A and B are shown apart, each in its own frame.
Chain A
Amino acid sequence: MNRFIIALAAGLGILATAPAQAQTPNTLLNVSYDISRELYAEINVAFAKQWKAKTGQDVTINQSHNGSSRQARSILEGLEADVVTFNQVTDVQVLYDRGKLIPADWAKRLPNNSSPYYSLPAFLVRAGNPKGIKDWDDLVKPGVQVIFPNPKTSGNARYTYLAAYAFAKNKYGADKADDFIKKLFANVPVFDTGGRAATTTFVERGTGDVLITFEAETSSIRDLAGKDKYEVVVPPTSVLAEFPVTVVDKYADKHGTKALATAYLEFLYSPEGQDIEAKGYNRVTDKTVMAKYKDKFPEVKLYRVEDEFGGWDKLNAEHLNPGAKLDTLFGGK
């Protein structure tokens, strides 16, 4: 029994020291979206090297990946992220709206609406493109199986919805767009909750003729699996997906990591950071870098949320909020 009491005391001891593991100023927690794993694995190594050269300090960057709406929720409940790197403006905005963890003008703190790189929903088809999928039109044809995650839980899929909607609106007119989306949803055999799960459905389980996800993910899968298995198709039009980043002031201040966190995000805009992002098939604004990788990025007309949907507030009210258009169209599925 004595041994048992000692074990218990030791256990409680470990429990009590847990708060002491709190972060030192040389550690950052980057809370990110699901499919950015490989990108930040590379960014973190490069940044740590640069920071060491500049300041002589070693820095550790911890990563957490999941659906970005779920991540935002966790941060509101106390996951102490120093920085967030998300794929959806609304998921960052909620940190201000519901927790005041960041200032209202967070998007103005860094260039391009605090989005160091951008991407677009693109198509990944099986080798030889047997169903001849070239544009959004081809997705609603009978007998075509389309794979993308559930637009209610995945930011990634919400962009797919927006791209398809913008395409239909511009080609057939606003009154026909709803019908187009209904036909598109009808061609999806399974809605996974996140981007990676949808990828697994398409790649591992071999379901579907086309996977719609960010261009960065489609191209990485093709590289990983081989050009003899998949082809990337970038449609003539798509929607601009921003990847907003920000320092989470409340926690960075608490940890004393604000300077480091800011430097980390600025690194994403530096030529070295932009090079890594572009190498991972994310489009960047640095002209030299884009010229270097121009073969990776086919021409595409990108609709902006601001121009096509009147900004995020209007978009949320008309399309994405509970009971709005997406619910109506998705509910019929």
Chain B
Amino acid sequence: MPRPTSERAHTEWMVTPVGAGPVTRRVVLGIVAILTLLFLIAPLALIFSSALSQGIGTFFNSLTEPGTQHAILLTVTTALIAVPINIVFGLAAAWTVTKFVFPGRTLLISLIELPYSISPIVAGVAYIFVYGSQGLFGPLIEAMGIKVMFALPAIVLASMFVTAPFVARELIPLMQVQGTDEEEAAVTLGASGFATFMRVTLPNVRWAVLYGAILCNARVMGEFGAVSVVSGNIRGQTTTLPLQIELLYQDYNVAGAFAAATVLTAVALLTIVIKVVLERISPDHAQAPARPPGH
């Protein structure tokens, strides 16, 4: 049967570019495997083994130590505030740039994505210049009796800045592909703007919202640089989990530091699991081509 053979040969030629024979493929695969082992698996394994190095009892004692407990609580509180706000922001931003055409639209998309490329420490310092006592709005805010810097609001703000693009970035390509046909149909049938959003737009993107929220959550919980600048590092008050890990490490409490690190690592691993599950069950996300915005 000449035809299938030639087809097979054709496919093989397709996946094997010139010069990339089986040897090259194996070498490349080997390099990737070794690098993964060195850069990802070894450190992860070390976190868990160091945390448990002094026994399971020490591990749990470290986790229930008041400072670490408070750090976990503060980190969860921050996520509970920052993630919902980011969802609303992401939905609004994606809705605006995909369902309407207006001047400055491309600029807005670029602005939303700015936190991806900016160093978190810059974000932290920028917040100090805006909200610090000697900053732009600091004196005004202080006169109103509100405390922003070196307290929960600053930690939430810094986390939100860093994660601002997470939900929007998931939604924009998807909503672009979906277009405005369904919304137009709904409006033609007499639905109000809000009803259109709740019954047509939102159900269409719910998986992407969830996906973005999960990634956003993981980043909020793990953010170090921006939060470090604005938190004031008050023990048991404004130390989030990543800051607590550094603090314990510098206190020569290595077991405690690694125990706290396992919590963050567990969040990360859980995030990956949820991400994979979502990709499996969500038809939207699987279909959404990874098109750059603006197409």
Chain A residues in contact with chain B, CB under 8 A?
Answer: 1, 4, 7-8, 10-12, 14-15, 18-19, 21-22, 29, 34, 37-38, 62-66, 74, 76-80, 98-99, 196-197, 200, 224
Contacts and interface: CB of A to CB of B under 8 A. Distances in A.
Contacts, number: 87
Contacts of A62: 234-237
B202 interface: yes
Interface string B131-144: 11111001000100
A79 B84 contact: no
Given A8-B84, A29-B234, A77-B135, A18 B252 contact: no
20 contacts: A1-B198, A7-B84, A8-B85, A11-B80, A11-B81, A12-B81, A18-B152, A21-B151, A22-B147, A34-B250, A62-B234, A63-B235, A64-B233, A76-B133, A77-B135, A78-B132, A79-B149, A79-B150, A80-B150, A99-B133
Contacts of B202: 1
B153 A196 contact: no
Contacts of A29: 234
Interface residues of B, number: 37
DSSP majority for the A interface? Answer: helix
A65 B80 contact: no
Q: Which residue, B80, B147, B232, has most C-beta atoms of chain A within 10 A?
A: B232
B165 to A, nearest CB: 20
Contacts of B234: 29, 62-64
A66 B142 CA distance: 25
List 3 A-B pairs, minimum CB-CB distance, nearest first: A77-B132, A78-B133, A11-B81
A266 to B, nearest CB: 23
Contacts of A1: 198, 202
Contacts of A65: 233, 235, 247
B236 A78 contact: no
A247 B156 CA distance: 30
B31 interface: no
Nearest to B81: A11
Contact of A15 (B128, B142, B152): B152
A77 B229 CA distance: 11
A4 B156 contact: no
B145 interface: yes
A77 B150 CA distance: 9
A69 to B, nearest CB: 14
A25 B151 CA distance: 18
Contacts of A34: 250
Interface string B44-74: 0000000000000000000000000000000
B111 to A, nearest CB: 23
A1 to B, nearest CB: 6
Contact of A79 (B88, B232, B235): B232
Given A18-B147, A65-B233, A99 B134 contact: yes
B81 A14 contact: yes
B77 interface: yes
A19 B149 CA distance: 11
Contact of A200 (B85, B134, B148, B250): B250
A1 B206 CA distance: 11
Contacts of A76: 132-134
A11 B252 CA distance: 35
Interface in B233-254: 233-237, 247, 250-252
A74 B147 contact: no
B51 to A, nearest CB: 17
Contacts of B149: 77-79
Contacts of A63: 234-235
B256 to A, nearest CB: 13
B290 interface: no
A184 B128 CA distance: 37
Contacts of B232: 64, 74, 79
B101 interface: no
Nearest to B246: A196
Nearest to B234: A64
Contact of B150 (A8, A37, A78): A78
